[in-house]
Every structure is written in structure tokens, then in C-alpha cells.
Structure 1
């Protein structure tokens, strides 16, 4: 692709705050993700694009390096710079596995078994019952246009009461209901992060959060799970925000101690506490006190997507009232409010989070998958967890990205660890979830076994394709 063509597509890429290379990378990222720069497209050489844009070559190099680290482009000596997704001429390795966002969320017509999206596959019967219960309530609504940028008061009050019962005194003014946890993250990133800002994240962590922060032009800095070294990183990096999953961490399943939560909360940095997996404990596991109990600088987010059903699109933010007001103004510009009947139904579904059925089912499916995996793959490192939705598996050789390609050829879409870790230290890992019914888990292991038997690691590592997985 000629430099002038890329310049035309870039448009007003330089308008905005932050270093030029981050703004250029952000605009190229949008063009790649939207398909305007398709897989395999050749990008201009550094000097040619820099000349066309009237910027220094180092700006283009830095932008390309950032996109290469994310897996969106490939750079090879003699082959130039290309959008990831299609192998370059003369290279016999496979293209990067590409079960990205939409393909991993929507049902497919082929025989590929999706083991990427860790969410309930079927709505519980109580969901239909909840909608039946609210029907009379809907019939009585009058003089109400139904727009609630903050969320319906009934659900906000119910969520505030649940936080208070868990040891975090909360008023309904501190709650905002969102269309799922992903919208909650997106609103917070837009409100708190500017291009070039440093954001501290765990390595590995939830990949959907990484994509949200990248969309805002953040510089992501990875720390070990639990944000080990957080205090020193805060002093050295002065981050705009930090993001942590303290309970049944996605993907490792780790749970932070009360002392560790208290120390993180007191570091003086806005801290996003992702509590989406927190309700997924196994029977007998005590639900830890949210980190928001230790500091008002902690912002909690939650969702019913992993505990009840993703199709509900019910999430929330618990924060200070001024921040909630600011977020509501941002939300009103994009979305005047969520679905009112669904929010009213969610009020009736909240008690399910503390019921036994969910937790016993999770434990049974975890044990089933772990038993099958340890029997089929005695050389794999497969730690158990006490809650959550996935196992964090380490391969004895090879890398997760190339093995995911082999698995896809055997009808199984799995999530390689490289896309979950900004430090690049999780190449040998896979995330395998246990949310599916036991027959589906059995079939997944059967296909995984055949894939492992056929697997031959490539001579050179294949860069990961960015994946948004749930």
C-alpha cells in the first residue's frame, strides 16, 4: 500500500492529546480492527510513511513497534511491514489464529467447538420466571420515558444493599448500571485515561480490559498477578489508573488476601477492582470483602454475565458519587440508558448469586475438566482453582499461539496465553474454561488430545493476533 493511500485513510490522526506515536498507533489500530487495512495488507516503509505524514521516522517506528507487540502487524526483514492475519510469501508457517471478538461471541455454523468465551451457555430457568414476575410492574408504569443513564433506581438500590451487606457501605447514588461489565470498563477507561497515560495491569489478565485501555492510547505496564511490586511501580511510573481482578483472577484463579487488598487500596492511585468473577466461588468458599471497603479511590465493577447469563447485559460500577455523575454524563452521550425490563428482572435474579446451584455446578465442571486433562496430558502443568471459570495451563514445550492453530484445525477454538499478557511472559500458556456442560468438556478434551498428538512447534514463534475473549 502506497504511503499516500495510508495517509488518506488515517485522516486527522494527529488531533488529540498525547505523544504522536501513540496517536498514530491508535489510528492505525482502528483501521486494522475495522478492516480498512485488511489482513496481509502491506504498510509503507518507516521513512516513506514518515515523509508523507511530515513526522520523524522515530514516530513511525515507535507506532509500528507498539502494534507489532500487540500482534496487529508483522515486521520481517525483506518482507516489509504487514497487517497480521495472512502469511507472507515464501513463509510456510500458518497465519495467526484469528477467533476474534465477534467470532468468539456469536454462534457458528461450522463444527468448531468454541472454548474461548467463558460464560454460561444457557440462561437459567429463573430468568424467564423473573420476566413473568415483572410483567405487572411494567403494566403500571406511567409518566416515565424509560431513560435512565444512571440505571433504574430499583436495581441501583438492590446493588447498593448487596455491597453494604458485604461490608462496603454504599448508597444508591454510588451505583451506575451499565450494559454489561465491558461497557463499565469502557466508560471508566474513557473517563480516566488519556493517550500516553500509564496503566498498571496484571500479567496475565482479562484481554478485554487490555483492548479497552489500548483504545484510549494507554501505555500498559504489566506486573505479576496481584500487582506484585505495585507500590514501587506507582512511585516510578505515576500511572493514571491500575486494574486488578482480586477474586478468582481471570485467567489464573488467584485470590488476594485481605492484607494485600488493603495495601493496594491504600497506594493512592485510582484502582479499578474487577469483581465480575467474584461470585463464582466453589461451595464453602467465603466471598472476600471488596477492596472498595478500604478506600474511596477503589472503583468496583461487576456483572451478571458470568454468573447468570451474558445475554442479560447487566453490569455496574460502584464509585464515589462525583465519579458516577461524570460517568453518567459520558454514558448519556453514547447511550441514554439500558433496557428497563431487563434491569427490573435483574433485581429478582441477584439472590441467585448467593444460592448453592451456581457454585455446585462450577465445582463439578471444574473437577470434571481437571480430571480429564490430567489423565490425557500428564506432562502439562494444570493447577486447580477454588473458583472462577477457567484453568491456566502451561504447555511443556512449544507455544500457545501455534498450538491454538493446530487445535483449530481439529475443531476446537482455544485461547492462547500470549494475548492476555502485555509482558510477553505467557507464551507457553492456554486458558481453558470449564463453564460448558460436562459432555461438551469431554468432547473438547477429545479434540485437544488429537491436536496435541499432531502438534509440531514452529521453528520461529508466530506473533499472536489480538483477541477479545470473555
Structure 2
């Protein structure tokens, strides 16, 4: 007798992704920008340091020295807080710039992007209100979105967040933290003046508000005077988290950053980091600690080159952008911000511009709400002045100039 097997039942569906993951969708801009990896595209869209300026010999020498002198330590697990040698040297650098810091005030992170994620894990509950700049660093918006935060933009101007608007929002919304990139901001390149930083520190003290001060670009100053960190102003001592990074001045592939925070929050971030990755790679930390001896010499060379590239882009914008456009002149960093006439939609125009083998980032995704669709971000550090000139000519054609 032949037995006919019963038809196989369809497999049961898998449980869904977490709600926070489902809430963060894809990006059509990201899909378009994927084509910028083609060698013929002049890419003003990235936020990448110029690879030809990496100190390959100096960094390699630091790694060789560490592996020769202490291989058993460099290749072993380390403490979650970070290698003491690196924390001591970072603390000394912060203190030299006017912010008294001890090694134990710092937590080494796997890039300053991880520091943002750790802060979100330690501070933010779903539904908490978070305040940000407008526009704001895109990856910070993603971190806060994944944490389930309610993100509100604080009105501002060419100097950044408006203290009076911040006071009004704090009274009305009772937010948990304010996130800022006050020096050479991403995406706008603007720098917040000292008086406004002092006002924000006072507001945070008055209202019981955390401030997260993200500073990945501060060493890349081409002109003007250094502005003190918000963390250094009276009232900010116990409520500002300062984030730093070696990605823009040493090498992003090492994934080395840090956060400076009051004891309680730093300990909570340390627990979150232990759960995430145990610790940042030991070898990278020890090599960086050694390389810090020559970092300032290297950064001076980088600043000279980047300053020329900024000036090359500024010199060509008037011919590249449509009549009626405006843009800023950043004193440092990697980006400048342009606003085209209101009839232009830079997201809609991007595909056409990429067809001319040049790319930018539209301003739209940098806004927590009510985006200005006529804006765009241009990165000026990755191309030579000659490439910048050619790229701006292509941009003009793509925009219909």
C-alpha cells in the first residue's frame, strides 16, 4: 500500500523586529549616494578625512613599538573603562585646553558614535523628550530615534541654538537632554560663540538639563580663536557630557573616541559598554596613546591642507550655485552649508546631479522636523583644490546652471 504524505504546513512566521527598529526606515538619499563610490564621481557628500593625509608611517611605527614592547598586553583583553595610558594622555590634552580632567573622568569608546549610543542606553527611556539643533547631526537623530525618544528641534540662527527658545522649550516640554555639536557643526560648519555657550550652561544648571557636547572636529581650526567647551563654563560642571574622537585627526579606521562625564553617568555608560563590546580594542588604544606624542605635529599639516581646500570651495561657490543662493564660511571642520532659492528641492535634484558625476548631501535628513528642502551640505576636505573646481563645475551643470 502506498502512503501519501500529508502536505507540509507552511512555516510559522518569525516574530517581528523590535518596534524601535521598525520605526527607523530606509533612506532614498542613502540609496542614491551608494553610487558615489564610483571613481568618476567627485564626492562632496562624504564626511571622510582625506586618506592621502593619514600618517601611515607614524601610525605603523606606534603599532610596531607596542607589539615589540608589550605584545602580551596589547593582544589581551582590557578594562571596559579604557587603557590607563590612553586615558591619562587624553586627560592631559583636555586639561591643557582649559578643562581640568583626570584619567578616571574618561571612558574610552569605539568611536564617538558609540559614546552617543551609550548615553542613549544610560539616559533615555522610550518617550523621553530630547532637544537637538536644527539642523542636527544625522546619526544622532538615528541614535535617539532607536532609543524611542521624542526629538524636538530648538530654534536657532547662524550662531546655533537660541538660549531664549531653549528656555521656553525646557519649561514647556521638560526634556532630559540637549544634544549639540557647537564647534564646526555637522552639517552646517557653524561655531557657537562663547557667550551663547555660557548662556546654555546657565540654562542647564537652572532647569536640571543634561547637555551632550559632541566635539569631533574641534582640532581642525583654520582661522579664528579657540572657543571654550560648554563643559568649562560655570554651572556645567556636573551636567555636561563631552564627546571626543581621534577619527578626524588620526584615522577613523581605529574607531577611537571617548566621553567625559560626571561619575554616575559615566559608570552607567561603562556598564552599557561592557554589555555592548566589553572594551575598545587594546592594541589600538596603546598605539594611539603612543601616537599622541606626535599628533599635534600631524594635525598642523592636515589643517594647512584642509584650509586650502575650504578656500578653494568658497572661491568657486558663486559660479557653481544658482543666483540667490547663500552659504557660510566655516572657521574649521569639514563642511559648509548652502541654501539655494526656495524653488529648489535638493533631495529631488540629487539624482540628476549624480548623473553629472558629482554628489552632495541634501539638507532634508538633518532636520528633526520641518526640513528646509533648499539646503545642502558640502564636504571640502576629501578632494584637492583642482578636483573641487571640477566638482563645482559639474554641480553647476547638474543644478541647471
| Normalised TM-score (structure 1) | 0.73
Question: Is 1:410 equivalent to 2:356 in the alignment?
Answer: yes
* Change in 2 beyond 3 A, CA 1:329/1:395: same
Match of 1:11 in 2: 16
Query: Which secondary structure state, in structure 2, belongs to the residue aligned with residue 251 of structure 1?
Result: coil
Work out whether residues 365 and 371 of structure 2, in 8 Å CA contact, stay in contact via their aligned partners in 1.
no
2:393 is aligned with 1:393: no
Q: From 14, 21, 29, give the equivalent of 2:23.
A: 29
Q: Distance in 2 between matches of 1:415 and 1:169?
A: 38
Alignment-derived partner of residue 448 in structure 1: 395
C-alpha deviation, 1:137, in angstroms: 3.2
User: Is the Cα contact below 8 Å between 1:97 and 1:404 reproduced in 2?
Assistant: no
Per-residue Cα deviation, 1:318-372 (whole angstroms, up to 9, x for no partner): 1113322221111111102222222223224445347532222222111101111
The residue aligned with 1:434 is 380
The aligned residue for residue 55 of structure 2 is 126
Instruction: Using the TM superposition, give the Cα deviation of residue 299 of structure 1 relative to its aligned residue in structure 2, in angstroms.
Output: 0.3
Secondary structure at 1:130 match in 2: helix
Q: Which has the higher contact order (CA 8 A, sep 6+)?
A: 2
Structure 2 Cα separation of the partners of residues 203 and 8 of structure 1: 41
CA positional deviation for 1:29: 2.6
Report the counterpart of residue 377 of structure 1 in structure 2.
321
Cα distance per residue 1:184-227 (max 9 Å; x no partner) = 11111121111111100000011111111101111110113432
Look up the match of 2:150.
219
1:385 and 1:216 map into 2 onto residues whose CA distance is: 32
Q: Contact 1:307 / 1:353 at 8 angstroms: preserved in 2? A: no
Structure 1: runs of 5 or more not aligned: 1-6, 14-23, 34-71, 73-84, 86-95, 455-470
SS in 1 for 2:218: helix
Name the CA distance, whole Å, in 2 between partners of 1:110 and 1:119.
Answer: 15
Q: Is the 8 A contact 1:412 1:444 kept in 2?
A: yes
> Alignment RMSD, CA only?
2.5
CA distance in 2, matches of 1:339, 1:390: 30
Change (3 A) 1:304 1:136: closer
CA shift, 1:8, in A, is 5.3
Is structure 2 residue 281 aligned with structure 1 residue 339? Answer: yes
1 CA distance for matches of 2:388 and 2:89?
35
Give 2:90's aligned residue.
159
Shift of 1:97: 6.4
- Compute the TM-score of the two structures, normalised by the length of structure 2: 0.85
Deviation >4 Å, runs of 4+: 7-10
Secondary structure (helix, strand or coil) at the match of 1:272 reads: strand
How many residue pairs were aligned?
372
Separation of aligned partners in 1, 2:139 and 2:62: 34
1:290 is the counterpart of 2:233: no
Is there any run of 5+ residues in structure 2 with no aligned partner, and where?
A: 1-11
- CA shift, 1:449, in A, is 1.7
**1:249 and 2:185 are equivalent in the alignment:** yes
1:377–1:109 Cα change, 3 Å: closer
SS in 2 for 1:277: coil
Distance between the aligned counterparts of 2:218 and 2:247, measured in 1? 12
Residues 332 and 125 from structure 1, CA distance in 2 versus in 1: closer, same or farther, beyond 3 angstroms?
same
- What is the aligned counterpart of 1:325 among 246, 249, 267? 267
